[in-house]
């Protein structure tokens, strides 16, 4: 009898307490919105904005395009994929070894702007200005990390000095140009000389 009374008292107490406390129903998981990644914690389901890799488009050149069969340009020592650049890189490679000759633009001898204007005329039918300084006015300036095959790279010796050299960007930081010491050759923008004097890149529209 005493046990029954105690159990009844507990039942009444539990009923009374239920009026003072509520258990909130669990909220349904909110589906992640496009561009977000779910992050599960022991306490709740949250979402965080997905930020694309900032380096994914670094040095955007022909490798960023849809995959194509590679073709190798032996004289340049480089492989390319985008067929749209094939005429350009093949035409430019035929100038390798041409001696430097100021004021000229033939395969008997050429200066830097003569080489660039000859290649662009042959491949695209575009007549660029004859000097590297005036050629810079023919292009749309682009950021260095957006340069791609066929863009032009310009150099100057000081912040206020004139542009004195120009070349055609290939890929992997390499460009082709006519140097006073070695004629038409492939060089790297990472070489100390060209790294120090690099000024800007431009795209012919």
Nearest to 165 by CA among 191, 146, 148, 72: 191
CB 184 within 8 A of CB 154: no
Note the pLDDT of residue 57.
34
What is the model's pLDDT at position 42? Answer: 34
CA atoms within 13 A on the CB side of 100: 14
- From 168, 177, 178, 199, the catalytic residue: 177
CB neighbours of 98 closer than 8 A, spacing ≥ 6? 107, 108, 109, 110, 115, 178, 183, 184
Among residues 76, 88, 89, 112, which one is catalytic?
112
Burial class (CB in 10 A: 0-12, 13-18, 19+), 55: exposed
Predicted confidence (pLDDT) at residue 27 exceeds the cutoff of 70: no
Residue 137: is its pLDDT beyond 80? Answer: yes
The stretch 8-29 carries a mean pLDDT of: 42
Clarify whether 165 is annotated catalytic.
yes
Domains of the chain: 62-203 (3.90.1720.10)
Confidence of residue 44 (pLDDT cuts 50, 70, 90): very low
What's the DSSP call for residue 100?
B
Task: Indicate if 58 belongs to the active site.
Answer: no
Arithmetic mean of pLDDT, 25-44: 38
Q: Are 39 and 48 in contact (CB under 8 A)?
A: yes
88: pLDDT strictly greater than 50: yes
- Residue 62: is its pLDDT beyond 80? no
Residues 152 and 88: their CA atoms lie apart, in Å, by 13
């Amino acid at each position: 009898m005493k046990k029954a009374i105690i159990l009844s008292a507990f039942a009444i107490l539990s009923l009374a307490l239920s009026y003072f406390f509520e258990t909130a129903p669990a909220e349904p998981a909110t589906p992640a919105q496009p561009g977000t990644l779910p992050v599960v914690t022991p306490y709740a389901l949250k979402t965080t904005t997905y930020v694309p890799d900032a380096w994914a488009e670094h040095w955007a050149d022909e490798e960023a395009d849809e995959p194509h069969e590679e073709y190798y340009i032996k004289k340049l020592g480089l492989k390319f994929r985008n067929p749209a650049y094939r005429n350009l890189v093949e035409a430019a490679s035929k100038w390798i070894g041409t001696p430097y000759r100021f004021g000229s633009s033939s395969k008997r001898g050429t200066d830097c702007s003569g080489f660039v204007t000859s290649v662009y005329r042959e491949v695209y039918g575009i007549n660029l200005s004859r000097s590297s300084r005036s050629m810079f006015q023919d292009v749309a300036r682009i950021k260095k990390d957006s340069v791609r095959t066929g863009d032009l790279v310009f150099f100057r010796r000081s912040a206020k000095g004139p542009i004195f050299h120009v070349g055609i960007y290939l890929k992997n930081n390499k460009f082709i140009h006519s140097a006073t010491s070695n004629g038409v050759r492939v060089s790297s923008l990472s070489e100390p000389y060209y790294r120090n004097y690099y000024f800007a890149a431009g795209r012919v529209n």
